[in-house]
Amino acid sequence: MVSPLHESLVRFVRDHPKRTLEHARSALGDALPRRFSVEVSDGNLTVLPDEYKADLVLILKRRGVPILGVIPEVQLKVDPDKHSTWPAYAVTLRARIGCPVVVLVITPHAWVARWARRPIGLGPGNTFTAVVLGPEDVPAITDPEAARADPLAAVLGALAHARGPRAKEVARAAFRGLDALDDPALWVYCDMILKSVSPADRRGLHAMLSREDYKPQSKFFRDLMAKGIAEGRKIGLEEGRRVGREEGREEGREEGREEGREEGREEGLQVGEREALVKALRKLLAKRKLELRPTHEARLAKANAAQLTRWILKAADARRITDVFPPRR
């Protein structure tokens, strides 16, 4: 079974191949050109059987012509069988695209990196060596300001050091850095990091996220909140004017209209904030393919903003719907 950390690293490479390759520049050396485009495809090398399918294939091109093939391989443990499959990957892809090929092993563990760097003997005078991107090659960004300056580097650092001694510090900085990322994938990155760290570090991160001083500032989340609040304000103002006019006609007092407007406006703001949180929770649950049942809908209907916020934080790394809505005793 593929682990969450393995899935997260593969997804990051697929979504941001250039950034990943730039971090591996010192290991790749002159093989990595200064200017290039990247074509991302699945790891099916067509000639090999299914058990030899790679995680991913990157084909670097210049003016549409392949100049380097890179086969990223996320490796979380020592696996002697890879000494047979990695050379097979490289030879097969080289035959297909007709240019140099490297296998890029990505691992968050120093001991796996040391093992993966060993030359693989293929016969007399013939060896194969993978290029390795280990935790020592990816900066562990712990300064929130540095993370905000380069959020993607902070995310990759959090994944690369997810099981290291500074995992919680690096993950915390990555969350702060994500505040500056104008991308709807905000919660996806948070989810990737939370799934990758240890259970103990995950609990510590949840505590940090639950504090009032941590408020996501991404445009995506701000827009979602603003839209809900604006809709609530509009509804509240309209209702307030209606109530105010009715009271004004009945009682003939200006005070009635003003009171109606103010009450409607206040109620509208509260309704708008709550609706925005409900939308955010539903969106996150849908991404995680967690289905709301009638009992959960009933709890949603009665929940206040504080409760909804707690459920959103729980949903970030939930595997089952009961992780978000524990059964009531």
pLDDT at 114 over 60: yes
pLDDT of res. 65: 92
pLDDT above 70 as % of the chain: 71
pLDDT of residue 186: 60
Q: Is the pLDDT of residue 149 over 70?
A: yes
Judge whether residue 163 has pLDDT over 70.
Answer: yes
Q: Mean pLDDT across the stretch 90-94?
A: 90
236 against 136, higher pLDDT: 136
- pLDDT given for residue 230 in this prediction: 54
pLDDT for the residue numbered 45: 58
- Going from the C-alpha of 245 to that of each of 81, 239, 248, the distances in angstroms are 79, 10, 5
| Distance between CA atoms of residues 69 and 192, nearest Å | 27
Q: What are phi and psi of 121, to 5 degrees?
A: -75, 130
Q: Is the pLDDT of residue 213 over 70?
A: no
Token pair recorded at residue 148:
């905000």
* Across 221-232, average pLDDT: 48
Neighbour order of strands in the sheet with 65-74: 37-41, 57-62, 65-74, 101-106, 131-133
Under DSSP, is residue 99 helix (H, G, I), strand (E, B) or coil? Answer: coil
Residue 117 in this model has a pLDDT that exceeds 90: yes
What's the one-letter identity of residue 192? M
Confidence of residue 228 (pLDDT cuts 50, 70, 90): very low
Instruction: Please say if the pLDDT value at position 41 is more than 80.
Output: no
Average pLDDT over all residues of the chain: 77
Per-residue buried b or exposed e for 283-317, using 16+ beta carbons within 10 Å of the residue's own CB: ebbeebebebeeebeeebeebeeeebbebbbbbbb
From CA 61, how far away is CA 100, in angstroms rounded? 12
Determine the pLDDT at residue 244: 60
**Is the predicted pLDDT of residue 166 greater than 80, yes or no?**
yes
Output the pTM of the full model.
0.59
From 31-40, 68-77, 312-321, the region with the lowest mean pLDDT: 312-321
247-303 confidence digits (pLDDT tens)? 555 555 555 445 555 555 445 445 566 677 788 788 878 887 888 888 888 888 888
